[in-house]
Amino acid sequence: MSTQEQQGVVRDGVHYHKFDIVIVGAGGAGMRAALEAGPNANVAVISKLYPTRSHTGAAQGGMAAALSNVEEDNWEWHTYDTVKGGDYLVDQDAAEILAKEAIDAVIDLENMGLPFNRTPEGKIDQRRFGGHTRDHGKAAVRRSCYAADRTGHMILQTLYQNCVKLGINFFNEYYVLDLITVKEDGQTRIAGVVSYELATGELHVFQAKAIIFATGGFGKIYKTTSNAHTLTGDGVGIVWRKGLPLEDMEFFQFHPTGLYGLGILLTEGARGEGAILRNASGERFMERYAPTIKDLAPRDIVARSMVQEVAEGRGAGPHKDYVYLDCTHLGAEVLETKLPDITEFARTYLGVDPVTEPVPVMPTAHYAMGGIPTTNDAEVLAANTTVVPGLYAAGECACVSVHGSNRLGTNSLLDINVFGKRAGRNAVAYVNKTPDWLPIPEDPAKEVRELIEGLRAGTGTERIATLRKTLQDEMDRNAQVFRTDESLAGVLGVIEELRARYKNVHVDDKGRRFNTDLLEAVELGFLLDIAEVVVYAARNRKESRGGHQRDDYPKRDDVNYLKHTMAYLTGDPHSSDATDHVTLDWKPVVITRYQPMERKY
Ligand SMILES: Cc1cc2nc3c(=O)[nH]c(=O)nc-3n(C[C@H](O)[C@H](O)[C@H](O)COP(=O)(O)OP(=O)(O)OC[C@H]3O[C@@H](n4cnc5c(N)ncnc54)[C@H](O)[C@@H]3O)c2cc1C
């Protein structure tokens, strides 16, 4: 392959590039994949953000691995906690891989130069986190490896530095907007991606033998969220629009400790260090909901307990609508050295000093358990048992499923490292046995050009910000910690109305250079598509499990629902009734050694 082919050849105003492997996304998962693939293939990483601005850099509390550095632990206990934490919707073979490969994943990062916090003997220090226990739930265990409350920042910087050292080709501030697919014998095959260069407004086609999606989450379907503005689910939306399935989209995690009214995250590491949740009267209410591990119960349980405290009139503040995270007994030194960032967040954004006062908190939309279904080798599924050859996904955009219906804290930084690495390795293996690139269609950028030009030339009157705000407000009100058929039907109706209004959306900026207005319109399209699937699947799951709590079906129902949801786009994608174009199916859960039990903590 020539350098010129990598740099791009221009034909009819479109740049054409050719690589063995294209990775979409430069967060933790994308860059871990790039490091694995880089030495053995020609790799391009395409990212809408400069790599070190990816959301992985915002991760605070840590990365789980049963290293046993500070107390006894093993990967089998970690597997069990992950399965139980996910309310038994976890594929247990995948959870075993996650827990076993965790140890090497941490050591890989250490060898790359990551500055973890250390014990006095110089080992990597470990702290407690929600749902991570010793000996099958007996007590909380120290399993999370951390670098103060900036673990994600350190991971992202370390991975990026190593990618630069390896000479990986980065295409930064390029938005991938389409996956080029070809049908062969009725099967979907992939030939490349189409992207939009922010600086110039020009289109770039990247031909590739293997493609890895690592585009992160989609928390911006909600208003109150810990997620960055850029987490609009583009990769998940692109795959969906190609008719490929999405798995378990109804399961969204609400992190218990978002700063009240803002949703900015205060890491669970605070409770790992001993912070306590209290209601208006100062009661440590988690003692009633999870008597054994209390404030360190998994997030779904803690978030629900908080909302219940408020609903039953025990909330604090003038409107009795929040609870407190009390860190005052930890002392200034622990807060300043082990939790410096969140201490500063509380001071800056709420004017509350955690050293002397409890901090007002409420749950915040945090993590997508669902996403693009993959095998344990990160291969994207076209249906329950068939894969799309050469297409991979890893990180938050993917659903392996190691998190089931509720992810344990610190298991995502782990997931991106373990499955990012697997995606990179397997993409290389695929490229090695694939001599040639698939031919691309005559004008592969046609659909993206029409989308962009349609938005630019449109004479619509609907404001992007208004539509987005209506969606986010409605999702917060009706598809948050507690849901009912009525609330979900309501929000689905609003989404359908917004999808119709979106056809008439107005873009102020008609220019070509750095047109973020235009891209916000495109991102809003992905948010609307994804929210529709989330809500549609949530209505269909008439039980309560993990992050999906139905007031009208408050019990877990293993007889009817111990299975993954698989959603497909079928029929007319533009119709205003979801039943016309969303089809739901099921996929069995892989159970190896842990039969579903009642979840007690
Ligand atoms: C505030 C916060 C704190 C957290 N703390 C922890 C923690 O302590 N421990 C833990 O385990 N987990 C934590 N998480 C979760 C965890 O950080 C994320 O799930 C994980 O980092 C996601 O990594 P990723 O590589 O999948 O995606 P990201 O890091 O979000 O990266 C996505 C990448 O995709 C690119 N991209 C997206 N769309 C496009 C497009 N259309 N074209 C081109 N590129 C695109 C972006 O530019 C970016 O580079 C936290 C999350 C948040 C929000």
Torsion of CA 454, 455, 461, 463, to 10 degrees: 160
Q: How far is CA 146 from the centre of its chain?
A: 20
User: Residue 3 pLDDT > 90, yes or no?
Assistant: no
* pLDDT digit string, tens, across residues 241-257: 999 999 999 999 999 99
The percent of residues in the chain predicted with pLDDT above 90, rounded, is 96
User: Residue 458 pLDDT > 90, yes or no?
Assistant: no
Beta strand pairing call for 398-399 and 372-373:
parallel
* pLDDT digit string, tens, across residues 359-414: 999 999 999 999 999 999 999 999 999 999 999 999 999 999 999 999 999 999 99
User: Which pLDDT score, from 0 to 100, does residue 123 have?
Assistant: 97
- Can you tell me the distance from the alpha carbon of 32 to that of 474, in angstroms, rounded to the nearest whole number? 36
User: Residue 136 pLDDT > 80, yes or no?
Assistant: yes
Range 343-355 average pLDDT: 96
Angle CA 263–220–195, to nearest 5: 140
- Residue carrying structure tokens 């989330």: 534
User: Which pLDDT score, from 0 to 100, does residue 1 have?
Assistant: 61
Two tokens, residue 511: 């220019």
User: Which pLDDT score, from 0 to 100, does residue 23 have?
Assistant: 98
Range 130-143 average pLDDT: 96
User: Which pLDDT score, from 0 to 100, does residue 322 have?
Assistant: 97
Q: What's the 31 CA to ligand 1 centre distance in angstroms? A: 11
Q: Is 151 in the pocket of ligand 1 (CB under 6 A)?
A: yes
- Can you tell me the distance from the alpha carbon of 311 to that of 110, in angstroms, rounded to the nearest whole number? 45
Q: Is 235 in the pocket of ligand 1 (CB under 6 A)?
A: yes
Residue to substitute in 22, 31, 54 for testing ligand 1 pocket (most ligand atoms within 8 angstroms of CB) = 54
Q: What's the 207 CA to ligand 1 centre distance in angstroms? A: 25
The helix (run of H) or strand (run of E) holding residue 527 is: helix 516-540
Angle CA 23–241–201, to nearest 5: 60
User: Residue 18 pLDDT > 90, yes or no?
Assistant: yes
Enzyme catalytic residues: 299
Range 252-276 average pLDDT: 95
Query: What is the SS3 assignment for 520?
Result: helix
First to last CA, the chain: 56
Residue to substitute in 36, 413, 518 for testing ligand 1 pocket (most ligand atoms within 8 angstroms of CB) = 413
Query: Per residue, what are the HEC states of 217-243?
Result: CCHHHCCCECCCCCCCCHHHHHHHHCC
- Can you tell me the distance from the alpha carbon of 596 to that of 560, in angstroms, rounded to the nearest whole number? 13
Q: What's the 29 CA to ligand 1 centre distance in angstroms? A: 8
Residue from 155, 172, 165, 201 nearest 56 by CA: 155
User: Residue 165 pLDDT > 90, yes or no?
Assistant: yes
- Ligand 1 atom 6: the closest Cα is on which residue? 59
Q: Is 55 in the pocket of ligand 1 (CB under 6 A)?
A: yes
Q: Is 402 in the pocket of ligand 1 (CB under 6 A)?
A: no
Q: Classify residue 192 as exposed, middle or buried by CB count within 10 Å of its CB (0-12, 13-18, 19+).
A: buried
User: Which pLDDT score, from 0 to 100, does residue 2 have?
Assistant: 65
Q: Is 234 in the pocket of ligand 1 (CB under 6 A)?
A: yes
User: Looking at ligand 1, which atom is closest to the CA of residue 175?
Assistant: 42
Residue to substitute in 55, 206, 265 for testing ligand 1 pocket (most ligand atoms within 8 angstroms of CB) = 55
Q: Is the pTM of this model over 0.85?
A: yes
Two tokens, residue 122: 């110089």
Beta strand pairing call for 549-550 and 372-373:
unpaired
Quote the DSSP letter at residue 167: T
DSSP assignment of 389-447, as one string? EEEEE-STTEE-SSSTTSPPTTHHHHHHHHHHHHHHHHHHHHHHT--SPPPPPSSTTHH
Q: How far is CA 387 from the centre of its chain?
A: 22
User: Which pLDDT score, from 0 to 100, does residue 574 have?
Assistant: 84
Chain-wide mean pLDDT for the chain? Answer: 96
Kindly indicate the confidence band of residue 158, based on its pLDDT and cuts at 50, 70 and 90.
very high
Backbone region of residue 272 per phi and psi (left: phi > 0; alpha: psi in -120 to 50; beta: other values): alpha
Two tokens, residue 332: 């200034």
Distances from the Cα of 567 to the Cα of 13, 182, 218, 382, angstroms = 37, 21, 17, 11
Q: Is 214 in the pocket of ligand 1 (CB under 6 A)?
A: yes
- Residue carrying structure tokens 């991606």: 193
Kindly indicate the confidence band of residue 98, based on its pLDDT and cuts at 50, 70 and 90.
very high
Range 2-14 average pLDDT: 82
